[in-house]
Chain A
Amino acid sequence: MTMSLTKPAMRGLLAKRLRFHLPIAFGLSLIAAIAFKYAVTEPRNKAYADFYKQYDATKEFNAMKEAGIFESVRPSGE
C-alpha cells in the first residue's frame, strides 16, 4: 500500500449534480408540456370547434322540448 490514492472530490458535489440534472429536468418538463398540448388540448379544442360549427341551437332546443325534459316549456302535444 505504498502508492497514494487520489483525493476524492470534497466540495461542489451538489453543484455538479445540479449542473447535470437540471437541464435534463427542464428539458423533459418542456417536452412533457409540449406533448400534452399537441396530444390532448389541440384535439379537444378542435372537437369543440367542429361541434359548434354545425350546431343549430334552435333545432336542438325543439328536439329537447319535444322529448319533454323542460318544466317551463312542455311538448307541443300537451
Chain B
Amino acid sequence: MLSSRALVRGLQCGLWRRVSTSSGAWAAHSHDVDMIDCSVPQYNNRLDTPLPDVPFVRNLNPEQKKLKEKENGPWTQLTKEEKLAIYRLTHELSYPEMRKGSKEWMTVLGGVFFFLGFTGLLVWWQRVYVYGDVPHTLSPEWVEQQTQRMIDMRVNPVHGFSHKWDYEKKQWK
C-alpha cells in the first residue's frame, strides 16, 4: 500500500515538472534545465502582450536565415507555408493555442482529494489512539434522564422538541 502511494506521488511530481517548466526554457535548452537568465529580455506567451520582447527562435539555422532574407522583400511573393513559418519563428503559441487551457485542474483536484483522504486517516487514528474517554453525560442512561427532563420542562413546545412528544399517549408522535 505504501509503495503504491509513493508511486502516485512520483507520477504527480513528474506531471508537475512537465507542466510548470516555462516554454522559453524548453525552447532554449534541449535537456531538462530550469535555469533561465532573467537579466536579459525574455520571450513570453501572454494574451496582453501580443509582441514579446524577443522572438521565440533566437538562433536561426541557414534555411531559416534564408526565409528571413526573403521576408525583407515584397510579402506577396511569400507562400502561405512560408508566412506561417515566419510567424512560428517569432511566436511560439497563437492566441487560440494560448487560450486553450489544459487538463491540469484534474491533477489538482485529484491531489487535493488524495491529501484530504490521507488527512482523514490521520484524524481517525488520532481519534482512536490519542483522545481520551467521552464525558459521562453522553452515556445512554444520562441522555435518557436528560430527555425525560426536557420533555417535562416543555422545551420548544411550539415547533421543536416537546412539540414532537405526545403527552397523552406518552410517546413520540
Chain A contact residues, CB within 8 Å of chain B:
44, 47-48, 51, 60, 63-64, 67-69
Which of A47, A63, A69 sits near B149, CB closer than 8 Å? A69
Taking CB atoms, residues of chain A closer than 8 Å to B37 are: none
Taking CB atoms, residues of chain B closer than 8 Å to A47 are: 158-159
Which of B149, B152, B154, B158 sits near A48, CB closer than 8 Å? B158
Taking CB atoms, residues of chain B closer than 8 Å to A67 are: 152-153
Whether B152 pairs with A68 at a CB distance below 8 angstroms is yes
Chain B contact residues, CB within 8 Å of chain A:
149, 152-154, 157-159, 167
A18 vs chain B, min Cβ distance (A)? 27
Residue of A nearest to B167 (CB): A63
Instruction: Give the top 9 A-B pairs by smallest Cβ distance, nearest first.
Output: A67-B152, A51-B158, A69-B152, A69-B153, A48-B158, A47-B158, A64-B152, A47-B159, A69-B149
Docked pose: A68 CA to B159 CA in angstroms: 24
Taking CB atoms, residues of chain B closer than 8 Å to A68 are: 152
Taking CB atoms, residues of chain B closer than 8 Å to A44 are: 159
Whether A64 pairs with B158 at a CB distance below 8 angstroms is no
Docked pose: A69 CA to B154 CA in angstroms: 10
A77 vs chain B, min Cβ distance (A)? 15
Taking CB atoms, residues of chain B closer than 8 Å to A48 are: 158
